[in-house]
């Protein structure tokens, strides 16, 4: 028994195949739409690209913001001032409680860790290293006794960027925190930052614009993918905020937008990089209640 296929049928099949391939090409092409930054979800664009604020790649579909628990352990069990210790971090899948092993790069690193002592005299921005078992490890030597607050920044694959806060305790005590408003220009290793705020008196719950004027600005470089990294800490260390610049124009001014959650004093560490040197500036800002 033989099967005959007409030329018309072959031609129809060819057209159908071409149509399928064309549809697949259109489907694979980056479609126009609402492109969103997974780190700054209030930033939208009508085409693919990167967020001008934080440098993250825009995505069409941002997954639901589910919290991924962070487990922290330490060795030795008793931390002492000045003693080198190892901190181990494990990010857990909220559905299975299994350790997550795949992460996206955020600002050139897989994890950023901010450490602040309870007396607000110690600040560090470190980068734990991913291990084969999915854990992250970091060696530290903490200078004071007492409590330390940690803010970890990481991005599990298939989810959204995460911020997790935890606490460490080092044996002994430190001097009680004693800070006053400090808005005078802050001198770092190779630049000086001056701060102007709008409104001049920040109010809890409302947006405050922080304008940093850098002197000199010449030689300023991106630090870990962005023009600056800012950590805001309330005096009691309950509130920790990791903020990136909202705007950098061609002048010597860099703008941050911050919403302080409560009234009180906030210490602000801001890191810039100029000519290969990382500069950390420090201000203490008073925030009042909204009348």
pLDDT in tens, the chain (291 residues): 333 433 343 333 333 333 433 333 333 444 567 887 777 777 788 888 887 777 777 777 766 778 999 999 999 999 999 999 999 999 999 999 999 999 999 889 999 999 999 999 999 999 999 999 999 999 999 999 999 999 999 999 989 999 999 999 999 988 888 899 999 999 999 999 999 999 999 999 999 999 999 999 999 999 998 999 999 999 999 999 999 998 887 778 999 999 999 999 999 999 999 999 999 999 999 999 987
Q: Domain locations in the chain?
A: 34-63, 71-170, 186-287
Question: How many whole angstroms separate alpha carbon 97 and alpha carbon 9?
Answer: 56
Residues 6+ apart with CB under 8 A from 128: 87, 89, 111, 113, 136, 137, 138
Nearest CA among 224, 235, 238, 221 for reference residue 276: 221
Three-state DSSP class for residue 152 = strand
CB environment 45-56: b (16+ within 10 A), e (fewer): beeeeebebbbb
pLDDT at residue 281, rounded to an integer: 98
Report the C-alpha gap between 112 and 231 in whole angstroms: 12
* Structure confidence at residue 262 (pLDDT): 97
Q: Among candidates 61, 286, 85, which has minimal Cα distance to 183? A: 286
Cis peptide bond prior to 199, omega within 30° of 0: yes
Backbone angles phi, psi at 176, to 5 degrees: -55, 150
For the whole model, what pTM was predicted?
Answer: 0.80
Quote the pLDDT of residue 14: 33
- The dotted CATH code for 186-287 is 2.60.40.10
71-170 matches 186-287 in fold: yes
Strands (E), the chain: 35-36, 44-45, 70-75, 84-91, 111-117, 123-126, 129-130, 136-141, 146-154, 162-170, 186-187, 192-198, 207-215, 220-221, 229-234, 240-243, 247-248, 253-259, 264-274, 277-287
71-170 homologous superfamily: Macroglobulin (MG2) domain (2.60.40.1930)
Task: Copy the structure tokens of residue 275.
Answer: 């000519």
Residue 202 token pair = 């920040």
For residue 32, the model assigns a pLDDT of 60
């Amino acid at each position: 028994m033989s099967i005959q296929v007409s030329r018309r049928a072959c031609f129809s099949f060819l057209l159908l195949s071409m149509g399928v391939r064309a549809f697949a090409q259109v489907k694979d092409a980056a479609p126009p739409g609402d492109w969103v930054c997974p780190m700054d979800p209030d930033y939208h664009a009508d085409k693919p690209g990167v967020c001008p604020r934080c440098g993250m790649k825009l995505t069409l579909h941002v997954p639901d913001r589910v919290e991924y628990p962070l487990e922290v352990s330490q060795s030795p069990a008793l931390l002492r001032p000045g003693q080198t210790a190892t901190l181990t971090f494990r990010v857990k899948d909220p559905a299975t409680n299994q350790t997550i092993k795949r992460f996206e790069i955020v600002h050139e690193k897989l994890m950023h860790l901010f450490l602040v002592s309870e007396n607000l005299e110690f600040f560090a921005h470190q980068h734990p290293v991913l291990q084969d078992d999915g854990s992250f490890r970091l060696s530290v030597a903490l200078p004071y006794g007492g409590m330390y607050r940690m803010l970890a920044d990481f991005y599990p694959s298939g989810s959204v960027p995460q911020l997790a806060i935890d606490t460490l305790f080092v044996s002994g005590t430190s001097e009680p925190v004693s800070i006053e408003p400090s808005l005078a220009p802050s001198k770092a290793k190779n630049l000086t930052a001056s701060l102007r705020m709008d409104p001049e008196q920040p109010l809890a719950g409302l947006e405050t614009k922080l304008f940093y004027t850098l002197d000199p600005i010449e030689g300023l470089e991106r630090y870990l993918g962005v023009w600056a990294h800012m950590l805001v800490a309330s005096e009691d260390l309950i509130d920790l905020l990791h903020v990136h610049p909202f705007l950098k124009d061609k002048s010597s001014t860099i703008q941050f937008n911050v919403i302080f959650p409560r009234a009180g004093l906030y210490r602000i560490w801001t890191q810039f990089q100029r000519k290969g040197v990382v500069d950390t500036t420090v201000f203490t800002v008073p925030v009042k209640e909204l009348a």
